[in-house]
Amino acid sequence: MSDRIDFQVDPSNYRHWRLEIDGPVAMLTMDVDEDGGIFEGCELKMNSYDIGVDIELADIVQRMRFEHPGVKVVVMRSGKEKVFCAGANIGMLGEAGHAHKVNFCKFTNETRNAYEAAEEESGQKYVAAVKGSCAGGGYELALACNHIMLVDDSSSSVALPEAPLLGVLPGTGGLTRLTDKRKVRRDLADVFCSTEEGIRSRRALEWGLVDEVVPNSNFDGVVAERAHEFAAASAKEDVAEGIELSPLRREFSDDAVTYSSVEVAVHRDAGVATVTIFGPDDDLPGSMEEFVEAGDENWMLRAARELEDAILHLRLNEREAGLIVFETKGDGEAVAARERLILDNADHWLANEILHYWKRVLKRIDVTSRSMVCFVEHGSCFAGPLAEILWAADRSYMMQGEFDDDGQPMAAIGLTDGNFGRYPMANGLTRLRTRFYGDPGRVDGAEAAVGRKLEAEEAAELGLVTDAFDNIDWDGEVRIFLEARSAFSPDAMSGMEANLRFPGPETMETRIFGRLAAWQNWIFQRPNASGPEGALRRYGSGVRPEFDMERA
């Protein structure tokens, strides 16, 4: 495996996917390069995938929204004979370390969620055209689509065989989507998930595992016909041209990553990474036309792309940095003004995409398994979408009063209308509703403060920060917190934080990232799955795994 996993790819260098666009319909073909795996010597046979395959898919899903907004239907199909997708590569899962497996599952979940939500958020409907074996993560690719078409032949089937074959669970939300999304009857779902060979054609349709079964003789023709029917029925506006997502400007060094509006500094001895987000450095567009002309250089989009890349980099490449410190520098009013422009034009396709993109980036922060703290210092710009990070973090501390020889504007938080509905969490609530789940009246008090600069005393009174410290106490309190947090067991912190971050309603998304992820995390570590005689290690060897039959 290469030293650093890079989440930025260019369409000209895709190795595993092909995209063909014909007006409102796009054909997305999965044709995995067997020799293109992240792990050396790990062959990606039968359209099986590793994180590299999914990084390309995530990039395509993102570009579909921004570069190809005129597309209304995306058909996902296979470029291989007799197989749609065999799921996550078993050799990769057997060889990868535990942290990589868990982060791999998390990233693939986020990718599935992104195209699953594309119809509701962007008017882009994803259709799975399943021909051949569609097993495990392959069926999970299809499950996240909005419509599944299965060929009626003698061999094509859908399956979730992880339990009988591998001793693990479908790691990308398969169980949850069966029950919550497709509403498959519990006993039938139990039979399905215990069956190695999968379920074919008519039975798959009867059980609700697919939406449509099509004769083999005219499968491709019916798929094309259905795609154009969906496109014709779509309420999505016609957009002639999108904007190009150009490569991010990044510089890597041994202990830092520098972007145009984000900087990551890693302090490995302390187990801390500092993420600094710099406020707008461009002119405020006077209209959405100017906003579109600026393309991916407008700060709202550029900062979101860079922050997302920084978070993913820390997750996979800096795993011992167990505490992430978020800081901002700049003009909070400038942040709020740019958000105001897109909120006022939320029905414009680009404004809509940017708002949903910030929602997805903030959700990535929510589910990142690191301790997180925000320092609201003089000269910071926690406003609008950046203020959301205050409530995504586990704690936040704010400077109060003048500091010696500081020379910076007084620390302040800027609440905007966007903080009260535009960026919901996985539980369907805003971060402020989640923060004040036991005292919803506090949300009304915060909303009354929209548009004002909230300095430390008022911010603390409103409950927007954990605590505020003056010039005398700041350095000492910050140091004590950093040292204490970094000394705790990272396993205990991951469990504690995940349990505390998502009060309130349980949704399909919280079940996938919470309950399912917790069980899969545990199961991956058990000898029955990952031990020398476990199912992952012995898969394909012809030797049956040996299970410890005690129920833990």
CATH of the domain at 165: 3.90.226.10
Whether residues 400 and 487 share a domain: the answer is yes
- 486 with 511, same domain: the answer is no
- Counting as low any pLDDT under 70, the low residues of the chain are 1-2
What is the structure's pLDDT at 519?
82
Residue 242 lies in a domain: no
pTM of the predicted protein model: 0.95
Residue 372 in domain: yes
Angstrom distances, CA of residue 296 to CA of 101, 228, 290, 305, 306: 32, 30, 12, 9, 11
d(CA 300, CA 437): 29
Distances (CA, A) of 377 to 40, 397, 514, 533, 552: 45, 8, 32, 53, 48
Three-class DSSP category at 10: coil
Domain that holds residue 281: 251-494
313 assigned to some structural domain: yes
CB within 8 A of 397, min separation 6: which ones?
373, 374, 375, 376, 465, 466, 467, 468, 469, 477, 478, 481
**What confidence score (pLDDT) does residue 517 get?**
79
Report the distance separating Cα 548 and Cα 202, nearest Å: 38
d(CA 163, CA 168): 5
Is 454 domain-assigned? Answer: yes
Residue in this structure with the two tokens 């187990």, named with its chain if needed: 271
Report the length, in residues, of the chain: 552
Residue 290 · residue 316 · CB < 8 Å: no
Q: What is the pLDDT of residues 263-297, one digit of tens each?
A: 999 999 999 999 999 999 989 999 999 999 999 99
**Angstrom distances, CA of residue 86 to CA of 136, 188, 225, 240, 470:** 7, 22, 27, 37, 58
Q: Does 354 lie in the same domain as 304?
A: yes
pLDDT score, position 141: 97
- The whole-number pLDDT of residue 253 equals 95
Predicted pLDDT at 104: 93
Single residue among 175, 204, 233 that ends a domain in this structure: 233
Strand partners, 150: 130, 213
Show Cβ contacts of residue 523 under 8 Å, excluding neighbours closer than 6 positions. 167, 168, 169, 529
Confidence at residue 2, expressed as pLDDT on a 0 to 100 scale: 47
| Residue of 125, 127, 110 lying closest to 59 (CA atoms) | 110
- Residue 545 makes CB contacts below 8 A (sequence gap 6+) with 167, 528, 533, 534, 535, 537, 538, 539
CA 307 from centroid of its chain's CA atoms:
13
Return d(Cα 164, Cα 33) in angstroms, integer.
Answer: 28
Q: Which of 299, 255, 303, 249 is nearest to 276 (CA)?
A: 303
Q: Nearest CA to 325 among 266, 376, 274? A: 274
Please, are residues 380 and 332 in contact by the beta-carbon 8 Å criterion? Answer: yes
CA 310 to chain CA mean position, Å = 13
Structure tokens at 438: 């036991």
Same domain, 521 and 394: no
Q: How far apart are CA 257 and CA 250, in angstroms?
A: 7
Residue that has been written with the tokens 């509905």 in this structure: 421
503 and 486 part of one domain: no
Please tell me the distance from the alpha carbon of residue 145 to that of residue 52, in angstroms, as a whole number. 20
The answer to whether residue 398 sits within a structural domain is: yes
Judgement on whether residues 330 and 206 belong to the same structural domain of the protein: no
Identify the domain boundary among 185, 200, 233. 233
Between CA 103 and CA 93 the distance in angstroms is 12
pLDDT confidence of residue 1 = 38
Q: Are strands 25-30 and 73-78 parallel, antiparallel or unpaired?
A: parallel
Is residue 548 a part of any domain in this protein?
no
Name the token pair of 365. 């922060």
Q: Which of 465, 494, 523 is where one domain is finished? A: 494
Phi and psi for 408 in degrees, rounded to 5? -100, 155
Look at residue 178 and tell me if it is in a domain. yes
Residue with tokens 């414009």: 348
Q: What is the mean pLDDT of the chain?
A: 95
Which residue's entry shows tokens 């992820």?
517
Q: Give yes or no for a contact between 260 and 302, defined as CB atoms under 8 angstroms apart.
A: yes
Residue with tokens 């882009």: 124
Measured CA to CA, the distance from residue 301 to residue 284 in angstroms comes to: 13
Q: How many domains would you assign to the chain?
A: 3
Task: Answer yes or no: do 464 and 504 share one domain.
Answer: no
Rounded Cα gap, residues 213 and 177, in angstroms = 20
62-85 pLDDT, tens per residue?
999 999 999 999 999 999 999 999
Furthest CA-CA distance within the chain: 79
80 and 56: one domain?
yes
Instruction: List Cα–Cα distances, 63 to 19, 30, 67, 348, 352, in angstroms.
Output: 11, 16, 5, 17, 14
Q: Please tell me whether residues 336 and 433 are part of one structural domain.
A: yes
Residue 125 C-beta-side C-alpha neighbours within 13 Å: 20
b/e per residue, 212-241, with b = 16+ CB within 10 A? bbbeeeebeebbeebbbebbeebebeeeee
My answer on whether 449 and 325 are in the same domain is: yes
Residues 84 and 135 in one domain: yes
Enter the tokens of residue 460.
Answer: 């603390």
Residue 177 lies in a domain: yes
Q: Which two tokens stand for residue 210?
A: 């697919």
User: Are 423 and 505 part of one and the same domain?
Assistant: no
Give the Å distances, CA to CA, from 434 to 101, 194, 318, 396, 438.
29, 37, 29, 16, 9
Give the separation between CA 39 and CA 498, rounded to whole angstroms. 29
Cβ–Cβ < 8 Å for 69, 122 = yes
